[in-house]
């Protein structure tokens, strides 16, 4: 039995108050195990991103409990919280969030810079991540000049450069054509299988969801279904 | 992020929107330039006055007079009293003083803090002559006991000597027949003086130095030994009473006396119905006026800087706005609020640094050139006056002030950036 890294109990989140109150999450209870891949699936507006942001400690829940490695997340503040965000989590956001006029290398080095790692080590690790994603020849290019698929790979390089335990990916293939999307998916699952990084993927793409170990189906802020085990075979890679 | 990374990132960020940064830097440049120039002007003029003060009077003496009891303009004349001393008019126009006698000197000498009292006598030499090269009218400076004279050649008076020494101004040199300033030093000159019986005698003295022209005109200066010799020669044939009455006396006090101690001496003098005036008092009023003018000019420069400060606030607010997502991303990656604040305030301080470096740099370059040109042309009659002078301290103050203003200006935008929640910033479109 593998250990649980993140667990929630009756997690709720609402926006606004009074007549404008909107309940985005209405009581989510789940466990995320170390090394697994989990898909959070649901249609637009069902609360997937909201849940992911709370799991990644970027947002605070309105109610319920969130435990990180057995610690109550509500007690995590300031330095501890920043350290956790920096060391434990890697993010692949729905949009790319690259600094357009900085080089690819600088973009990938950002988490290491925040982690106060020296500039030589920084460069070494960033180049290693770029090598892993086949982007070494683009290291000096400005991020703005890359194609969509290349940008998404830069974002993944940035997410894994600091050796996180968990990578959160919000619609990692949403902006890509299916062929490029498949490449990105393969990279993410390879990280999960080979390096044991826990993968939390938010998607409305059933095929991507099917490749994950588990799927949680979200509807209007509630988990309506949970399915274990991959349901489809590994896709072939189209470069 | 390490401090160095914050700094380099901030500098990089400030160059991201070049036009905006340039415009803000120009605004700061104007303020820093003006402030450096006005400070330089104040320092230049005050430096000059200080050299002048040193050349005309020792810091350890004061002139003591005995003022007539104040009468208002509407009162009639005071009743004649044969017992009171004769009245002399001197000092400020319209202010009369009474003559001082040896009794007064004793009273003044007894005041605490006063170490010695010299009779202040006026000697009126007729001429000065060097090796029959012609006799020229000699005028003596009002202040005889200067310990430090602004010299063009030679040296200061020998302390405590009985040798007869004279220092002549540069304007005498060519007229009296010397080849140059240095040639005059060490030469013996004859000084002619007429006594009460209209007999003219001549006294030999040595030129020890040549003095730069001062604010108060070009006068020769004699040491105490020569002054006493001249006075003795001039007083031959006078009744004793007239040689024992003085318009003023010079009171010496400890050169290390503090302002408060000097003030106490002056107060004691007033109580004893005398009045003491130091050279600093006389020049001080002049300096106060100049300081006042410089203060007003500085105030204008600071107003310009404050306006530039709002420029910085504006620039930073725009850049916080533009970089909302980047801030959110950095926070999501674990950058602390304090460091986000540091990132933006470092950017502001860097912009301030750029503005003050360019402003002060150009001000110093322009000021030095203008000052040199003026010293050679318009102000050539006032040797030693460099209208603009720049000290490390004053330029450093400008830097610190500008960077301080920039930092204060950054507080609002930077704390706005620091407070942003990562998720709101990331959802920002
Ligand atoms: N700051 C907010 N204020 C008010 N409502 C919000 C806010 N953020 C999210 N919501 C609402 O919460 C609901 C869930 O949003 P969320 O972004 O989690 O959806 P999602 O499942 O990720 O959708 P998508 O697939 O389109 O990304 C939406 O109805 C959204 O309008
Ligand atoms: Mg979403």
| pLDDT score of B423 | 82
Strands A198-203 and B221-222: unpaired
| pLDDT score of B185 | 92
Q: Any chain B CB within 8 A of the CB of A123?
A: no
Among residues A222, A102, A115, A155, the alpha carbon closest in space to that of B333 is found at: A115
Strands A222-228 and B61-67: unpaired
| pLDDT score of B305 | 84
Residue B86 pLDDT > 80: no
Residue B110 banded pLDDT, cuts 50, 70, 90? confident
- Better-scored residue on pLDDT, A52 or A228: A52
Q: Any chain A CB within 8 A of the CB of B422?
A: yes
Q: What are phi and psi of A206, to 5 degrees?
A: -65, -35
Structure tokens at A204: 């409305």
| pLDDT score of B190 | 92
The C-alpha angle with vertex B25 and arms to B23 and B26, in degrees rounded to 5, equals 65
Residue B189 banded pLDDT, cuts 50, 70, 90? very high
State the Cα–Cα distance between residues A159 and B51, nearest whole angstrom: 69
Structural domain that includes position A190: 4-236
| pLDDT score of B191 | 92
pTM greater than the 0.80 cutoff: no
Q: Three-state secondary structure along chain A?
A: CCCEEEEEEEEEEEECCHHHCEEEEEEEEEEEECCCEEEEEECCCCCHHHHHHHHCCCCCCCEEEEEECCEEHHHCCHHHHHHHHHHCEEEECCCCCCCCCCEHHHHHHHHHHHCCCCHHHHHHHHHHHHHHCCCHHHCCCEHHHCCHHHHHHHHHHHHHCCCCCEEEEECCCCCCCHHHHHHHHHHHHHHHHHCCCEEEEEECCHHHHHCCCEEEEEECCEEEEEEECCCCCCCCCCC
A203 CB near ligand 1 (under 6 Å): no
A47 CB near ligand 1 (under 6 Å): yes
Mean pLDDT of B94-98: 66
Listed residues: CB within 5 A of ion ligand 2: A 49
Strands B221-222 and B165-169: antiparallel
| pLDDT score of B341 | 92
| pLDDT score of A234 | 44
Mean pLDDT of B202-230: 83
Residue A233 pLDDT > 50: no
What Cα–Cα distance (Å) separates residue B224 from each residue in B91, B105, B188, B227?
22, 18, 17, 5
Mean pLDDT of B102-126: 81
Task: Count how many Cα atoms sit within 13 Å of the Cα of residue B206 in the half-sphere of its side chain.
Answer: 14
Q: In this structure, what DSSP letter does residue B142 have? A: S
Return the ligand 1 atom nearest residue A51 CA. Answer: 18
| pLDDT score of B263 | 85
State the Cα–Cα distance between residues B334 and B348, nearest whole angstrom: 23
Which residues have C-beta within 8 Å of that of residue A71, sequence separation ≥ 6? none
Minimum Cα–Cα distance from B329: chain A residue? A97
Are B248 and B64 spatial neighbours (Cβ–Cβ below 8 Å)? Answer: yes
| pLDDT score of B353 | 92
**Residue B328 with chain A: CB contacts under 8 Å:** 97
Q: What is the pLDDT of residues B361-407, one digit of tens each?
A: 999 899 889 888 888 887 777 767 777 888 888 889 888 988 999 99
Q: Any chain A CB within 8 A of the CB of B3?
A: no
- Better-scored residue on pLDDT, A231 or B193: B193
Mean pLDDT score of chain B, rounded to an integer?
81
Q: What is the pLDDT of residues A41-93, one digit of tens each?
A: 888 888 888 888 888 888 888 888 888 887 887 787 788 888 888 888 888 88
CATH number at residue A140: 3.40.50.300
What number of H helices and E strands is found in chain B?
13, 13
Are B210 and B181 spatial neighbours (Cβ–Cβ below 8 Å)? Answer: yes
Q: What is the pLDDT of residues A154-213, one digit of tens each?
A: 888 888 888 888 989 888 887 777 777 787 888 888 888 888 889 898 988 888 888 888
**Residue B16 with chain A: CB contacts under 8 Å:** 101
Q: What is the pLDDT of residues B303-339, one digit of tens each?
A: 888 888 888 888 888 888 888 888 888 888 888 888 8
Helix (H, G, I), strand (E, B), or coil: what is residue B93?
A: coil
Residue A238 banded pLDDT, cuts 50, 70, 90? very low
The complex scores an ipTM of 0.85
Number of domains comprising chain A: 1
Among residues B210, B217, B223, the alpha carbon closest in space to that of B162 is found at: B223
Residue B195 banded pLDDT, cuts 50, 70, 90? confident
Residue A235 banded pLDDT, cuts 50, 70, 90? very low
Residue A33 pLDDT > 70: yes
State the Cα–Cα distance between residues B323 and B9, nearest whole angstrom: 13
């Amino acid at each position: 039995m593998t250990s649980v890294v993140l667990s929630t109990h009756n997690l709720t989140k609402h926006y606004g108050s009074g007549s404008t109150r909107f309940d985005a999450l209405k009581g989510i209870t789940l466990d995320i195990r170390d090394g697994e891949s989990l898909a959070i699936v649901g249609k637009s507006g069902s609360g997937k991103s909201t849940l992911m942001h709370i799991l990644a400690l970027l947002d605070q829940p309105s109610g319920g409990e969130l435990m990180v490695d057995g610690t109550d997340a509500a007690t995590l503040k300031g330095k501890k919280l920043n350290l956790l965000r920096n060391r434990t989590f890697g993010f692949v956001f729905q949009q790319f969030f690259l600094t357009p006029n900085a080089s690819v290398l600088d973009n990938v080095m950002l988490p290491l810079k925040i982690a106060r790692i020296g500039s030589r080590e920084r460069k070494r690790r960033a180049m290693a991540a770029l090598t892993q994603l086949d982007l070494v020849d683009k290291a000096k290019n400005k991020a703005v000049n890359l194609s969509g698929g290349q940008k998404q790979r830069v974002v993944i390089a940035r997410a894994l450069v600091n050796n996180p335990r968990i990578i959160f990916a919000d619609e990692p293939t949403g902006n890509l054509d299916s062929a490029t999307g498949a490449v990105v998916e393969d990279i993410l699952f390879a990280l999960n299988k080979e390096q044991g990084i826990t993968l939390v993927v938010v998607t409305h793409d059933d095929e991507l969801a099917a490749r994950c170990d588990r799927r949680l189906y979200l509807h209007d802020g509630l988990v309506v279904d949970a399915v274990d085990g991959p349901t489809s075979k590994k896709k072939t890679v189209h470069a | 992020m390490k401090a160095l990374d914050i700094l380099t990132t901030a500098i990089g960020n400030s160059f991201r929107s070049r036009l905006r940064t340039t415009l803000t830097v120009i605004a700061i440049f104007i303020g820093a330039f003006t402030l450096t120039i006005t400070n330089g002007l104040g320092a230049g003029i005050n430096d000059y006055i200080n050299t002048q003060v040193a050349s005309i009077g020792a810091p350890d003496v004061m002139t003591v007079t005995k003022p007539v009891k104040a009468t208002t303009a509407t009162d009639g004349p005071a009743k004649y009293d044969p017992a009171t001393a004769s009245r002399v008019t001197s000092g400020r126009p319209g202010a009369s003083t009474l003559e001082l006698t040896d009794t007064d000197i004793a009273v003044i000498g007894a005041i605490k803090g006063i170490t010695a009292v010299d009779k202040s006598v006026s000697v009126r030499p007729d001429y000065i002559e060097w090796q029959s090269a012609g006799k020229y009218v000699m005028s003596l400076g009002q202040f005889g006991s200067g310990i430090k004279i602004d010299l063009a050649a030679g040296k200061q008076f020998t302390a405590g000597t009985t040798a007869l020494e004279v220092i002549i101004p540069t304007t005498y040199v060519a007229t009296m027949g010397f080849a140059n300033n240095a040639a005059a030093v060490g030469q013996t000159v004859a000084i002619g003086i007429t006594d009460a019986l209209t007999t003219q005698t001549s006294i030999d003295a040595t030129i020890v130095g040549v003095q730069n022209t001062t604010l108060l005109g070009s006068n020769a200066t004699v040491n105490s030994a020569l002054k006493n010799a001249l006075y003795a020669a001039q007083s031959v044939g006078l009744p004793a009473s007239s040689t024992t009455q003085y318009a003023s006396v010079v009171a010496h006090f400890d050169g290390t006396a503090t302002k408060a101690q000097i003030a106490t001496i002056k107060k004691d003098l007033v109580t004893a119905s005398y009045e003491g005036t130091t050279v600093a008092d006389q020049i001080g009023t002049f300096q106060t006026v100049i300081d006042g003018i410089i203060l007003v000019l500085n105030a204008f420069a600071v107003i310009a800087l404050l306006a530039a400060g709002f420029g910085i606030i504006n620039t930073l607010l725009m850049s916080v706005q533009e970089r909302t997502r980047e801030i959110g991303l950095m926070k999501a990656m674990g950058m602390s609020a304090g460091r986000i604040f540091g990132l933006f305030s470092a950017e502001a301080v860097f912009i301030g640094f750029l503005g003050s470096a360019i402003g002060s740099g150009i001000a110093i370059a322009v000021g030095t050139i203008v000052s040199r040109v003026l010293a050679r042309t318009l102000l050539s009659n006032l040797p030693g006056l460099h209208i603009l002078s720049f000290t490390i301290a004053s330029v450093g103050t400008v830097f610190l002030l500008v960077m301080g203003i920039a930092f204060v200006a950054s507080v609002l935008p930077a704390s706005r950036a620091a407070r942003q929640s990562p998720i709101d910033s990331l959802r920002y479109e």
